[in-house]
Structure 1
Amino acid sequence: MATILSVSGSPSATSRTARLLRHLDDRLRGHGHDVVPLDVRTLPAEPLLNADFGHPAVVEAAALFARADGVVVGTPVYKAAYSGLLKALLDLLPQYALTGKVVLPLATGGSTAHVLAIDYALRPVLNSMGPAHIVPGWFTLDKDITVAEDGSVTVAPGAAEALARVTDQFSASLHAHHATPALTG
């Protein structure tokens, strides 16, 4: 069983992005993974904005990344890029915090005009952090995510099928990565 860190970069407490991630966390648990959610908005703002690498909350967040075998990174798209909150956290992690990990980037937004934010904004930053593999990500329109009063999430059929596919591909990549012994020199 792999440990997956599921990171929401949304600053909103009622975020569709975070709700969608928690919905996908359940699917990954169904694949036998241990999933640890991290809503970046719950970290104290001052250490994030002041680059306080030694703050206990930042140290613990970095430790969560270090312990994870795989990382799902979800963000709303703002001005054609990932959230500033997510950027603040990524900037405080060690340079190669994703070394050896399988990563699934996900984004949500109000318009298909932002669909390339994953490949042109988020993926390069994630890639610079040394992951073993970044699987193809997925962009989901806000209108395709419905949150009920009880907090449950329903995803429109076409988007749900695509999300299931990329989530299952991530899980399979994670299993394959763990089944392949590391090469030693």
Structure 2
Amino acid sequence: MAKLVIISGSPSPASRLNGVLQSLESVLQQEGLHPEWIRVHELPPEDLVYTRFDSPAISAANRLIEQADGLVVATPIYKAAYTGVLKAFLDLIPQRGLEGKVILPVAIGGSAAHLLAIDYALKPVLSALGARNQLQGVYALDTQVKRKEEGGFEVAEELEARLRQSALDFTREARLYAERTPGAVV
């Protein structure tokens, strides 16, 4: 079975990005996959700021990445770029740490004007870390994800359809990669 990891680069546990990622995870689970999560805001801030490569929390996160066939790398977009907390974490991934992984970039922002932030800000950094198989990203608008009064999120139908298709493409690619990897359980 393909091993998947979702990296949430949101600095806030209340981010609408969580609604997007929950929808994506739901499709992955329907496909029989149960991704691990790295919530960057839960990592020790001092480990991120002081680039503590030997931190137990950072080492554990990097082990998850190393073992993964596919990664969802997700972030809110602030000022036309991914979050600083995500950048701090990406700096702690080994130089070729994303080599051989299938990557699905996901972003959420307040304006369609930042749609290309995935291609011009996030993907180049992922490529520098060795990511060669980056799928077309999913960009969501804040207005497409509503917080429910009782908790949780409601995702707009159009966004839900795009997330579903991207999750299915991601699943297919990650499974293909897992099949080609020696010793993989498919």
TM range (shorter): over 0.9
Gaps of 5+ in 1: none
* Deviation by residue 1:135-183 (Cα, 9 ceiling, x = unmatched): 100100011012223433321111111111111111111122223467x
Moved more, 81-90 or 146-155: 146-155
Q: Return the offset for 1:34.
A: 2.4
Distance in 1, matches of 2:179 and 2:58, equals: 31
Q: Name the residue aligned to 2:57.
A: 57
Report the 3-state secondary structure (helix = DSSP H, G, I; strand = E; otherwise coil) of the residue aligned with 1:100. coil
Q: CA RMSD in A?
A: 1.4
SS in 1 for 2:80: coil
Asked if the contact 1:108–1:141 (Cα under 8 Å) also holds between the matched residues in 2, the reply is: yes
Residues 75-154 of structure 1 correspond to what in structure 2 (within 5 A)? Answer: 75-154=75-154
Give the distance between the partners of 2:22 and 2:157, measured in 1 at CA.
Answer: 18
- Structural mapping, 1:8-87, within 5 Å: 8-87=8-87
Does the aligned pair in 2 maintain the 1:4–1:69 contact within 8 Å? yes
Encode CA deviations 1:47-91: one digit per residue, 9 max, x unaligned.
100111111111111111111111001100011000000000000
> Which residue pairs with 2:176 in the alignment?
176
* Higher RCO (C-alpha under 8 Å, 6+ residues apart): 2
Identity %: 42
Q: Which runs of 5+ in 2 are unaligned?
A: none
Q: Which amino acid aligns with 2:17?
A: T
d(CA) in 1 for partners of 2:153, 2:172: 24
Question: What amino acid maps onto 1:123 in structure 2?
Answer: K
Distance 1:78 1:10 in 2: 10
How many residues align? The count is 182
Q: Which amino acid aligns with 1:140?
A: A
8 Å CA contact retained: 1:75, 1:107: yes
The farther-off stretch of 172-181 and 7-16 is: 172-181
31-40 or 16-25, which deviates more: 16-25
Residue 25 of structure 2 aligns with an amino acid whose one-letter code is D
Between 127-136 and 57-66, report the one with greater CA deviation.
127-136
Deviation sequence 1:85-117 (CA, Å, 0-9, x none): 000000011011111110100000000011000
Structure 1 counterpart of 2:158: 158
- Aligned CA distance change for structure 1 residues 181 and 14 (closer, same or farther; 3 Å): closer
Distance between the aligned counterparts of 2:119 and 2:169, measured in 1?
Answer: 17
Q: Which moved more, 1:161-170 or 1:67-76?
A: 161-170
